């Protein structure tokens, strides 16, 4: 595996890789875990060359403390990438990614106006900025994203549609990886105290139980049941739980409003912000 730190080295390495076949890109912010590994394994199976970017993107953090405390584990990340058979680890500095301030404002539309949109102003614009840069730099055949960040995938698809020019790029969404107790894998989980870590699986357990509740409850009742149930656990505070259409991300009021109702939750466990989601089959 080659570690690349500059855009020009990346472009020259990928010039010859592109001539040989497909390029799979897995954008990450590092602190890699098994969830990332599942994206990388899939990229490895489906592409001739695999690039993983490791970059904690400052423009997508609307909270300076969150940016400062975001785990940074470059050495361990590189060891994992090497063992996963990655060809190139792209690990640029902030100056390399943003030689000038990125002032682009993307018209991300309704998919970005709900849930994480209002809760984290500027977050999705920052994601669009960095992902569009990564796509232009690597010109991948396929790019891999985890469904834990369900809304993010819809936003990235919208950005690709807006920008155009990424000829034939396929956005591949990959299922959430979970610990044995159900907690969705996340780089943020390492910040949970042992007591909080024991409680945090209540999110996925509640979401799963809500699949059964949904058979007899209305959508509004199910939504409220999830919020109340999670909030009853110590350390837990739900920021939002919305049941949305899986494509448009627009909140639903009735089960019959969508063929893919997806429940998206954000909850604090202590001061750690956790997200998860579940698809209802009504
Ligand atoms: O999901 C993430 O880790 C980040 O939002 C991404 C897509 C790597 C962009 O910084």
Question: What's the whole-number mean pLDDT along residues 146-162?
Answer: 98
- pLDDT tens digits for 31-71? 999 999 999 999 999 999 999 999 999 999 999 998 998 99
57 within ligand 1 shell (Cβ under 6 A): yes
**Binning pLDDT at 50, 70 and 90, where does residue 121 land?**
very high
Best residue among 112, 151, 152, 173 to mutate for probing ligand 1's pocket (most ligand atoms within 8 Å of CB) is 152
Mean pLDDT of the chain: 97
Q: Is 179 a catalytic residue?
A: no
The CA 27 to ligand 1 mean position distance, Å, reads 6
pLDDT, residue 31, reads 95
The CA 28 to ligand 1 mean position distance, Å, reads 5
- pLDDT tens digits for 167-190? 889 999 999 999 999 999 999 999
Question: What's the whole-number mean pLDDT along residues 5-24?
Answer: 95
Dihedrals phi, psi of 187, to nearest 5 degrees: -65, -25
The CA 76 to ligand 1 mean position distance, Å, reads 18
Best residue among 59, 127, 153 to mutate for probing ligand 1's pocket (most ligand atoms within 8 Å of CB) is 127
Radius of gyration of the chain from its Cα atoms, rounded to whole angstroms = 19
Residue 70 or 90, more confident = 90
pLDDT, residue 172, reads 98
Question: What's the whole-number mean pLDDT along residues 247-267?
Answer: 98
- pLDDT tens digits for 213-243? 999 999 999 999 999 999 999 999 999 999 9
């Amino acid at each position: 595996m080659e570690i690349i730190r500059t855009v020009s080295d990346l472009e020259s390495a990928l010039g010859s890789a592109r001539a040989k076949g497909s390029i799979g890109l897995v954008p990450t912010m590092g602190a890699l875990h098994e969830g990332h590994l599942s994206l990388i394994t899939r990229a490895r199976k489906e592409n001739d060359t695999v690039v993983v970017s490791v970059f904690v993107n400052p423009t997508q953090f609307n909270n300076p403390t969150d940016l400062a405390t975001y785990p940074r584990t470059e050495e361990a990340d590189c060891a994992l990438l090497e063992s996963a058979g990655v060809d190139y680890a792209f690990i640029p500095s902030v100056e390399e990614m943003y030689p000038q301030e990125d002032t682009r404002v993307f018209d991300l539309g309704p998919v970005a106006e709900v849930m994480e949109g209002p809760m984290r102003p500027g977050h999705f614009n920052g994601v669009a900025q960095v992902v569009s840069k990564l796509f232009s730099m690597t010109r991948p055949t396929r790019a891999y994203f985890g469904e834990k960040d369900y809304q993010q995938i819809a936003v990235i698809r919208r950005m690709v549609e807006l920008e155009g020019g990424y000829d034939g790029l396929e956005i591949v969404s990959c299922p959430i990886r979970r610990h044995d107790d159900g907690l969705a894998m996340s780089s943020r989980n390492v910040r949970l105290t042992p007591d909080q870590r024991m409680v945090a699986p209540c999110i996925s357990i509640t979401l799963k139980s809500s699949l059964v509740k949904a058979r007899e409850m209305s959508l509004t009742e199910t939504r409220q049941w999830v919020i109340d149930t999670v909030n009853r656990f110590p350390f837990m505070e739900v920021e939002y739980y919305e049941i949305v259409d899986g494509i448009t991300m627009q909140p639903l009021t009735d089960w019959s409003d969508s063929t893919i109702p997806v429940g998206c939750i954000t909850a604090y466990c202590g001061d750690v912000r956790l997200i998860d989601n579940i698809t209802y089959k009504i």
